[in-house]
Amino acid sequence: MNELDRYLRQVGFWLPRRQRADILRELRGVLEDLLAAAESEAGRPLDPRQARAALSRFGLPALVASRYASRRPVVSPALSHAFWRVLAISLAGALLAQAVVLSIRLAVGAAPATALGFVAGKLFVVLPWTVTLVLFAFVLLDRICVHRADASSLE
């Protein structure tokens, strides 16, 4: 396997499967031209190190592939401010609820270490669930908003 094949394989790893073969076919042509130009500049065939250097000027494989990504963000920029706000409020609410639970447990005479351990254990479950639920709610909201925007742009 030469340096070009290795580079293309690395780019291909990050590309969407559906378009991979087609994009790599085009990129191969572009990079062959790039290597040929580097070779004519050097006046002799490139050794593997020089070929790697020439290819690296085209960009890191993951970054090259990311330019082809057409996937929508999980939460679109229009909703991202609201998303962070709701997430912060929800996390603060979850922490506050556990602080109340902790206070009640301490008030009814539970040992502080036991009460803290109980609340810490709850937080390990509650916080990831809060993040997950808020995220899912916004993903759904995002899809509905975008669907409506698409529908109204067609009217």
Partner 1 sequence: MAGKRASLDSLRQELRRGSLVLAVLAATGEEAYGAVLRERLAEHRVLIEEGALYPMLRRLEEQGLLASEWRHEGSRTKRFYRRSPFGSEVLQALSEEWKAFSESLEHLLGNQ
**Which positions touch partner 1 (CB under 8 A)?**
19, 23, 25-27, 29-30, 32-34, 58-59, 64, 67-68, 70
CB of 51 to partner 1, least distance (A): 17
Report the nearest approach of partner 1 to the CB of residue 26 (Å): 5
Query: Is the distance from CB of 34 to CB of 54 less than 8 angstroms?
Result: yes
Distance CA 20, CA 119 (A): 49
Q: How far is the CB of 59 from partner 1 (least distance, A)?
A: 5
- C-beta closer to partner 1: residue 29 or 128: 29
Q: Between 5 and 32, whose beta carbon lies closer to partner 1?
A: 32
Alpha-carbon distance 24 to 7, whole Å?
10
| Residue 127 Cα to chain centre, angstroms | 20
Q: Which residues contact 97 (CB under 8 A, 6 or more apart)?
A: 126
By C-beta, is 65 or 102 nearer to partner 1? 65
